[in-house]
Every structure is written in structure tokens, then in C-alpha cells.
Structure 1
Amino acid sequence: MRDKIKDLSNILRASALCTGALLCLAFSLSVNAANQNQLDGVKQEITRQQDQLGNKQKKINTLQKSLKQQELAIAATANKIHQADNQLNQLDRSISKLQQEQQVLQQQQFGQQEMLKELLNTQYRQGKNSQLATLLSGEDSTELDRISVYAEHLSEARANTLNELAATTTELQLKKHQLSQQRQQQQALLTQLKTEKSKLETEQRQRKKTVRTIKGQLKTDSQYLSELKTNEKRLVKEIAKAKAAAEAARRAPMDGLVRHKGKLPWPVKGSILHQYGTVQQGELRWKGMVIGKPSGSQVKAVYSGKVVFADWLRGYGLMLVIDHGKGDMSFYGYNQTLLKKVGDVVQANDAIALVGDSGGQERSGLYFEIRRKGNPINPKSWLTR
């Protein structure tokens, strides 16, 4: 009997253990299922955010491409305006010179006309005392010869004056024709300038709209910092390529900047908006300086060298880089338009660009940087005090 009770007890204990195990297993499975669902939810959220970030980056990239096209269009228009301005200045000088020459010719013509009047009057008075009257008067032959020679000189002088007057009149007519043509050309240039400036204003309004949209996309500091870091990497990459190309194409050695520290002319004169080494964003610091200056002002080369880069670069806009030799380079960014191209040799104080706000800048100015063997240095210490 006891054995039966013991067996029954064992059966009941085993049954209880099995039930407990089953309950634990069921609970474990339930917890694992919940954890898996939570993990799947996290993964889906990560994927969603990554897709969102990817789409946002694509949108930013598209906007940057639009900004590039708009700023290149502005550069082309600004270049046309710059060239038209130069032609207009040359025409103004030419017209002024023609007007002066015209005044001289008019005075010369008046003098010749007065001379001719005097000669004709003298010849008329001489005609009243003809050689025949002189001969009949019984004067000697010597006096007669003198009067005859005088008459010949008088006649020759009149003929010469007539020729000079005709030549002056012809030249004066030519000057008047040239002046008329140049004034017509001047008017055509003024009309072209008005059209191009109107076009430029429209392009600048479109650009400002794109810049605002880009700023709206880069809302957080981390996004903006990431964009700046990526832009700097692009700059370093492009300059490495440009430097390699410059080394391969170099024919004559250049002396570099080392002997001219503290003596280089400023690329533009203006207030410094950002100093070298100051905080740009987060841990990122300015590798150059930004000098405030109105759009359209001329940017000058600080020293002689060869242009190794002249193109639009994201974050820096229209950038021009000059190789000065011995690992020294100067950088000019944010330009409205570039006046030099890759391969051009420039001298100190040559106009190389026009100040602008390209690259998405909110105000016009010049980004200026100097690098020695690839490393940025404080450019201010290399410029004249």
C-alpha cells in the first residue's frame, strides 16, 4: 500500500514539474517573441531613419547641384558685364580722344581758311597792280622780276593751303564718322549691360531661394558640421589633383613665398569677417580668412604663379588656386566669377576674379587661404601690415 502511495506521489510530483516546465517554456517563448518584436521594431525604425537621412542627403545633393548651376550662370553673366564694362571704358576713352582730335582739326581748319582768305586778298590786291602796268610805268626789270617771283610764291602758297584744307576737311569728316560709329556701339553696349544686369538680378533671386532651402535642410549643428567636413575633404582632394597636375606640367621653377612673408599685397581690402583659426562649427576651425567686400570688386593675386584650379567647388563656390612653387599655394573662394583659367600665368596684383557670395554664402566676401606643402597657415601674417 505504501508503495502505491509513493508511486502516486512520484507521478504527481513529476506531473507538477512538467507543468511548471511547460509554463516556464511558454513564458520564455512569450518573452523572446516580445523581444524579437521589439528588436524588429527598432530595426525598422533604424531603416526608416536611414532612408529618411538618405532621402534628405539626396535632396541636399540635388539642391547643391542646382546651386552650382545657378552660380555658374551668375558667373557667366557677371563675366559678360565685366567685359562690357571694360569695352565701355575703352570706348569712353576712345570717344574722348576723338573729340579732342576733332577740336584740333576744327581749329586747324579755321586757321587754314583764314590763311586762304588772306592769300586770296593779297593776290587780289596784287592783281590790281599788274605786271603790264608796272612795265608801262617804266620801272626797271629787277623790280619786275621781284614782283613776278612774289606772285609765283603767293600762288604756290594758295595751292598748298587749298590742299591742306581739303585734307583737313576729309580727316575731320572721317573723325566725325568714327565718332558716330563709336557712339552707336556705346549705346548698344549700354543696352546690353542693362539686359545682362536685369538677368543677373533674376539669377541672384533664384540663388537666394535655393540657399535658404539648403539652410533649412541643414537644421542641426551636426548636419551642418558634417557638410563642412565633407566640403573640406573635397577641397583637399581637388588640390592634391591640381598640385600633381601642376608638378607634371611645370617647366620653370617658381621661387615660392618664403622670402615675401609680411610683404604680400592683400587680395582685397576690407573688414575681416572670419579670422584664421577661429571656430567655424563645432571642433572645426577656419583654415583661412574671410574678407568682406561688395560683389563685383576685383580680386588680386598676392604673388606671381600659375593657376592650377579654377572651378566651382561645393562649399567654396567659384574657387581659384595659384601655385607659387616650392609647395606654396594661395586660394581664393566665394567668387562671383573667375577672370583666369587653369594654366594661366599671373603676376602679383593681377585681377584674377570678382568678389561674390558663391558656394551658398549669405553675404559677399573673399575666402582667402595659404597652404605650404599642403598645410594651411595663417594668411594674415604673410600680408602687408
Structure 2
Amino acid sequence: MKKIALILSLLLYISSLSVFGQSVSDYQKKLNNVNQSINNINKAINENKKEQKSVEEQIRALEVEINEREREIAKINSELKETERQIRSTQKEINEIEKNIEENNEMLGRRLKVMYKVSDVGYLDVLFSSKDITELLSNLDMIKKIVNHDKELLEELRKSKEVVEAKKLRLENDQKKIVNLKNSIEIEKNRLLVSRGEQNRLKKQLESEQSKLLAQEDELLRYAKSLEKEIQKMQSKGDYAGGVLLWPAPGYTRITSPFGNRIHPIFNVPRMHTGIDIAAPMGATIVAANSGTVLQADWLGGYGKTVLIDHGGGIVTLYAHNSTLLVSQGQKVERGQAIARAGSTGNSTGPHLHFEVRKNGAYVDPMSWLR
């Protein structure tokens, strides 16, 4: 934000300077200052875009982590439901065993009362009901076996109950662990949600700053255009060299972006495309479209390394995003002369030539001059 305030102050200072009684050199110095300011804004815009890209990457990474935590929570919820189902099933099993133990205890108690009651009636009944001593012993042995069987059954039931209760205890411990794990993942998910919210707020802030920078760039570009018009009034006194302009990128004819309104490929906002983009590889030769005088051969804001040629009669051509400049300001050039090497400097998505034609300072479609 400090950069924005600084650039805005510089813009106001430059705008306040008098434009009367100035020489071409004075206008050119002012234009250079404005272009430097545009360059600074473009650097700030590029930094802003890098930050936005970094923030967007972090948001995407957080989204992936949040989705992963949600999948983990869904899986844990499923495991928790299954564990709770098993606990209920185990408790039901314990209840059935306890009921079985209770019933067998009652049965054993009734039998023991028959065998060990204070009166001997029970034994007498068995004695008198027996035909002989052999049958008596056999009946008594049978009663003992029944009682022993009941005792063994009860012991087995008690052991089964202990096993099932141990299983239930393990399941309850598992349940506690699953709940604790779920809580820790929920905490992590909430932390990620907070981080995503902070990143989204930062993204909006960066987008707001970018809008302000673009607005300031537009203001500077308008002022630069007014300075260029003043320079052209003083420099372009001669007649236009005449004729159709020469294609500026020999051997490379594919136009990747025509003249007119479009969505900016870097800033993703509607912008006027003031020239044509010609696909040309890094280092390809760029030539003068017609004879004239080099107005500027330097870095020009988002244009990067740029050449402007005055052809007389108010006609100026511009060649931008070059990797190398082969001419200098004030130099006379001939039609077809090599003036630069194609590149990707300034606001560019890759090597190409951005070519403009300006008539009395106004942007015109270059294709109407190249045909």
C-alpha cells in the first residue's frame, strides 16, 4: 500500500508541472518520468499477481486438506457407528448370559434344596421309591450328576460372561479412542477453515490493491499519451514517409491477439488491446515498418523493452516486449532495418512482438496499415 501512495504522489507531482513553453527534450524527460512511474506500477502489479497466485495456491492446498479431514471424519463416524453397534450387541449378549445364569442358579438352588434340606424326606422318598439298593444308588448318583452338570454349566456361563465383558471393555476403550481422534481431526479441520478464511480475505485485499494499481496505471497512461501528443506536435512536422507498412516480424505471420477490446491475459480484466501480438520466438529479428527517427528505445512500463519510431505526418509505430534493442533514441532508421530482437519483457505471457500504429497520438488498427 505504501508503494501505491508513493506512485500516486509522484503522479500528482508530474501532473502539476506546467506544460507550456517546454522543449522537446523537456517533454521527453517528463515522458521518461511517467514511463518510469508506469514501470514501477507494473512491478507492483506483477508482485501483487505473484502474491495472489501464492495465496490461491495456499487456498487450493487448504481445500485439499479440508476435504481430506472431512473424509477422515466421515470414515471415523462410520467406525464409531460400527463400534457402538458392536457394544450394543455385546451388551445384549451379556444380558442374555446373565439371564441364563440367573435361571440356572434358581434351578440348581431347587435341586440342592431337594438333596440337602434338613429333613431326610428327600432321601427317604428316593429310598422307598427304589426297588432295591442298586436302583437306590443309581438314583442318587443320577441326582449328583445333574447337580454337578448344573454347576459346570454355571461355571461355563460365568466364564463366557467374563469373556464378553472383556470384549465390551475393549470396544468401549476403542470407542473412546475413536471419539478422541475425531475431536482432534475436527479441531484440525476448524484450524484449516480459519486459515482458508484468512487467505480468502487476503486474496480480496490483493484484488482491491490490484484494481487501484490498474486505475493509477490508466491515469499515468493517459498522461503519457498527452505528453506523446505534445512531442509529436513538435517532432512530426515532416510528411509521412508513405506507403503500406512493412511486416515488422519477417517470417512470423501468426497473430495471437488482434487489435481491440479483450480480457487481459495477465490481469484477467477487460482492457483495450492497443495493437496486435505477433507470435515470434525469443531472439527473432524485429524490423522497422518504415523509415523514420527513433523517438524512444528504452524500457516503457508494461511494454518492457520498447522502440518507438516517428515516420512523419503524425505516424508513430511501437515495437514492444523485446529482449534486446538494436537502436537508440534520435537514430535515423530505414524501412526493413533490424531494430530489436523479440522477447518477453514487461507484462508478457511469452515471447512475441506487440506492434502498434499511432496516428496523431491515437491508437489505430495496425492491420489497416499493413495491407
Q: Which has the larger radius of gyration?
A: 2
TM over 0.5: no
TM-score tier by shorter-chain length is 0.3 to 0.5
Give the TM-score, by structure 2 length.
0.42
Larger RCO, structures 1/2 (Cα 8 Å, 6+ apart): 2
